[in-house]
């Protein structure tokens, strides 16, 4: 066991994956000598060489498009896109090629690749460095969307993503990168993609969240009345959605709040609410609430904390939902 933060845990995972499978290569902007802008790939080029940790030209579509070719021809590429805001130029390659190739060839040509992307706000970054676009890719059939929060979950999920026979977008909440450490096993282990985690068991209210918002939820729960028994679910994978874990919880509690950083309209909160009313209608004691980002452009960092969901907003939702 080692005590690692999220960055260190991902570095360790990549290192172990590269040791175990020589088909695994890393590619992206500044991932080599510089170790990536968040230092996630620090030291890996020194260890594995320039052929396996590749500083590519500055072209996101080129990074994903060539990674698709690498995957078609037997490699297990792990491209890094520096920030979620720069997924835009690669959108066509992700959605129109990576996601479709297996289906397009009726299984003849799968595209196993893992696209690593730092995501979300909270680090006082410039424009297009703080967004939460996970729903866009959830609405693009053919991709899996993984969004771990903790170092140990990230290790198991990233290992599973690298070994997955299909394309995975692996979102890494940058606010959590260095925010805390925990025990992470150095053993080889996978966490199944598509399985949520019950972080805290409770009987009065279910909160579903993922990424950095998890810690805001924990803060809100600390401030909630002592007799409020709240169940907290870390979704961990956005697609495939683990509706069973959510439904099982809501059938027990009868009340649910979905919390995410991404904008409200068309966000995963909408999908989860719809699924809950389909599955748990007769169990519901209150409308499903959403605490999310606003339907605005993510503001620059002077107003960043006004946008991001926080313990106070979540606390209000908890009080309202419990009192309904």
Contacts for 20 with CB less than 8 Å, ≥ 6 apart: 188
* Residues 182 to 241 in contact with other proteins, rule: CB under 8 A: 194, 239-241
CA–CA separation, 137 and 267 (whole Å): 11
Cβ atoms of 39 and 118 closer than 8 Å: no
Give least dist CB 318 to other proteins, A: 25
Residue found under tokens 């979102």? 171
Q: Which one of the spans 60-68, 154-162, 197-205, 302-310 is the region binding other proteins (CB under 8 A)?
A: 60-68
Give least dist CB 134 to other proteins, A: 16
CA–CA separation, 282 and 276 (whole Å): 10
Paired sense of beta strands 114-119 and 197-200, if any: unpaired
Nearest of 263, 235, 218 to residue 121 by alpha carbon: 263
Paired sense of beta strands 182-184 and 168-173, if any: unpaired
Pair of tokens at residue 126: 């410039």
Q: Which one of the spans 117-125, 141-149, 154-162, 287-295 is the region binding other proteins (CB under 8 A)?
A: 141-149
Answer yes or no whether residue 10 interacts with other proteins by CB under 8 A.
no
Choosing from 6, 12, 25, 246, the residue that interacts with other proteins (CB under 8 A) is: 25
Answer yes or no whether residue 96 interacts with other proteins by CB under 8 A.
yes
Contacts for 30 with CB less than 8 Å, ≥ 6 apart: 36, 37, 55, 82
What track of x and - describes contact with other proteins for positions 236 through 255 (by CB under 8 A)? ---xxx-xx-----------
Catalytically annotated residue among 97, 129, 139, 260: 129
124 is catalytic: no
Answer yes or no whether residue 50 interacts with other proteins by CB under 8 A.
no
Which of 252/275 has CB closer to other proteins?
A: 275
Which of 61/200 has CB closer to other proteins?
A: 61
CA–CA separation, 96 and 295 (whole Å): 26
Which of 7/268 has CB closer to other proteins?
A: 268
3-state secondary structure 63-106: HHHHHHHHHHCCCEEEEECCCHHHCHHHHHHHHHHHCCHHHHCC
What track of x and - describes contact with other proteins for positions 99 through 138 (by CB under 8 A)? ---xxxxxxxxx----------------------------
Answer yes or no whether residue 280 interacts with other proteins by CB under 8 A.
yes
Answer yes or no whether residue 265 interacts with other proteins by CB under 8 A.
no
Q: Which one of the spans 37-45, 54-62, 148-156, 294-302 is the region binding other proteins (CB under 8 A)?
A: 54-62
Q: Report the residue count for the chain.
A: 324
Choosing from 10, 40, 75, 322, the residue that interacts with other proteins (CB under 8 A) is: 75
Burial of 228 (0-12, 13-18, 19+ CB in 10 A): middle
Which of 77/156 has CB closer to other proteins?
A: 77
Choosing from 85, 121, 135, 144, the residue that interacts with other proteins (CB under 8 A) is: 144
CA–CA separation, 198 and 246 (whole Å): 9
Answer yes or no whether residue 88 interacts with other proteins by CB under 8 A.
no
Cross-strand bridge partners of residue 169: 115, 145
Q: Give me the active site residues, please.
A: 129
Q: Which residues bind other proteins (CB under 8 A)?
A: 25, 51-52, 54, 56-57, 59, 61-62, 64-75, 77, 89, 92-93, 96-97, 102-110, 141-142, 144, 165-166, 194, 239-241, 243-244, 275, 278-282
């Amino acid at each position: 066991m080692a005590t690692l933060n999220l960055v260190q845990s991902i570095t360790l995972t990549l290192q172990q994956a590269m040791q175990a499978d020589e088909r695994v290569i890393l590619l992206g902007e500044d991932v080599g000598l510089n170790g990536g802008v968040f230092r996630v790939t620090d030291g890996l080029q020194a260890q594995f060489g320039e052929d396996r940790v590749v500083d590519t030209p500055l072209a996101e579509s080129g990074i994903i498009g060539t990674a698709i070719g690498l995957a078609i021809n037997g490699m297990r590429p792990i491209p890094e896109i520096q920030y979620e805001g720069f997924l835009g130029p690669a959108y066509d390659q992700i959605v129109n090629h990576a996601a479709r190739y297996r289906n397009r060839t009726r299984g003849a040509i799968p595209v196993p690749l893992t696209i690593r992307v730092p995501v979300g706000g909270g680090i006082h970054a410039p424009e297009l460095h703080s967004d939460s676009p996970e729903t866009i890719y959830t609405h693009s059939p053919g991709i899996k969307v993984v969004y771990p929060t903790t170092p140990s979950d990230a290790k198991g999920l990233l290992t599973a993503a690298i070994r997955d026979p299909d394309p995975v977008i692996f979102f890494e909440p940058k606010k959590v990168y260095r925010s805390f450490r925990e025990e992470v096993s150095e053993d080889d282990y996978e966490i199944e993609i598509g399985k949520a985690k019950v972080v805290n068991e409770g009987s009065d209210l279910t909160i579903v969240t993922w990424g950095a918002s998890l810690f805001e939820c924990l803060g809100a729960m600390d401030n909630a009345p002592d007799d409020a028994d709240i169940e907290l679910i870390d979704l961990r994978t956005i697609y495939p959605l683990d509706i069973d874990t959510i439904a099982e919880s809501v059938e027990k509690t009868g009340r649910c709040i979905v919390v995410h950083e991404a904008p409200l309209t068309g966000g995963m909160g909408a999908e989860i609410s719809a699924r809950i009313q389909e599955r748990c209608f007769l169990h519901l004691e209150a409308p499903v609430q959403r605490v999310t980002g606003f339907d605005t452009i993510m503001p620059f960092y002077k107003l960043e904390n006004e946008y991001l969901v926080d313990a106070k907003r979540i606390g209000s939702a908890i009080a309202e939902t419990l009192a309904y």
